[in-house]
Copies of this chain bind each other. A is one copy, B any other.
């Protein structure tokens, strides 16, 4: 590894190269002229070639010195830039937060958090990535995202999370379905309905959560059909092949062919959490979390 002269030497040289006068340069550097003279000597000794041509009356740059000066100023400037960049990141005034989000947060929670964040922290860039809950968990562990809007709860020693929203689940039925005659339905009401759900690949975590809910309510969850596409799923419901269950935030996006009713049971909630890795000390991230908390569930 090549010997790399200290920055004090480099800075001294740059000053002398600008002033072409040791005494004035020494004044600017606030050191003695002799010290500066020795610094330049040391620099040249380390490099192994002269940078300055000096007589007792005049100082001028050698060709190598001219070239080195050009490089040195650029390097010092880059260095200061790097220090400033890192400072901005450390202070959270810039940087980047990679945000994962899934469908249930896509309509309200994530957009609102993002909107608040952008006004408060315009210097911090956000990268939004649509990922399902499972993918977000893996992405968090692998440091591919910094924070994720996902279905909760999530217990993992490496991660921390807060509950952002607990929203009522709704049944989605074809238009004219008997359930729509009531203003709200109970778990009992849907015990014998046919269910159409997204397949495990697409709805993995949600399916697990729903399965859990039904077990705890003493109802069997037997999906009659599976659909891998949301539009297709709603289409199947509208076609009268069965019903499905959606969180409230998505009930406004279902089109005209279906009707919705809330499930009147405190268990039938979908929790959306915000999760991040504990060891991620990014200031930008903590800023994002703070902002996202403003929409936190008051439950």
Contact with B along A68-99 (1 / 0, CB 8 A): 10011011101111111111011100010000
A299 at the interface (CB under 8 A from B): no
When the two chains form their complex, are residues B86 and A65 in contact, meaning their CB atoms are under 8 A apart? yes
A35 to chain B, nearest CB (A): 16
Which of the residues B51, B65, B75 comes within 8 Å of A79, measured between beta carbons?
Answer: B75
Residues of B within 8 A of A75 (CB): 75, 78-79, 82
- In the complex where A87-B47, A91-B49, A281-B53 touch, is A71 in contact with B82 (Cβ < 8 A)? yes
Give the interface residue-count category, chain A: 35 or more
Contact of A80 with B2 in the complex, beta carbons under 8 Å: yes
Instruction: Verify if A201 is at the interface (C-beta below 8 Å from B).
Output: no
Q: Decide: A284 and B63 in contact? CB cutoff 8 A.
A: yes
Tell me if A's interface is mostly helix, strand, loop or mixed.
Answer: helix
Are A90 and B284 interface neighbours, CB within 8 A?
no
Instruction: List B contacts of A89 (CB < 8 A).
Output: 63-64, 67
Q: Which of A33-78 contact B (CB under 8 A)?
A: 47-51, 53, 60, 62-65, 67-68, 71-72, 74-76, 78
Copies in the complex: 2
A207 on the interface (CB 8 Å rule)?
Answer: no
Contacts of A91 in B (CB 8 A): 49
The smallest beta-carbon distance between A59 and chain B, in angstroms, is 12
**A6 proximal to B (CB < 8 A):** yes
**Known A6-B6, A6-B8, A63-B89; contact A279-B53, beta-carbon cutoff 8 A:** yes
Contact of A5 with B by CB under 8 A: yes
Contacts A47-B87, A71-B85, A90-B49 hold; do A4 and B79 have CB atoms under 8 A apart? Answer: yes
Q: Are B86 and A2 in contact (CB under 8 A)?
A: no
Residues of B within 8 A of A283 (CB): 63-64
Bound CA–CA A159/B141 (angstroms)? 71
A78 to B78, Cβ gap below 8 A? yes
B11, A76: Cβ atoms closer than 8 Å: no
19 CB < 8 A contacts A-B: A2-B80, A4-B7, A4-B76, A4-B79, A7-B10, A47-B86, A48-B90, A49-B87, A60-B279, A62-B90, A63-B282, A64-B283, A67-B82, A67-B85, A67-B86, A68-B82, A68-B83, A71-B79, A71-B86
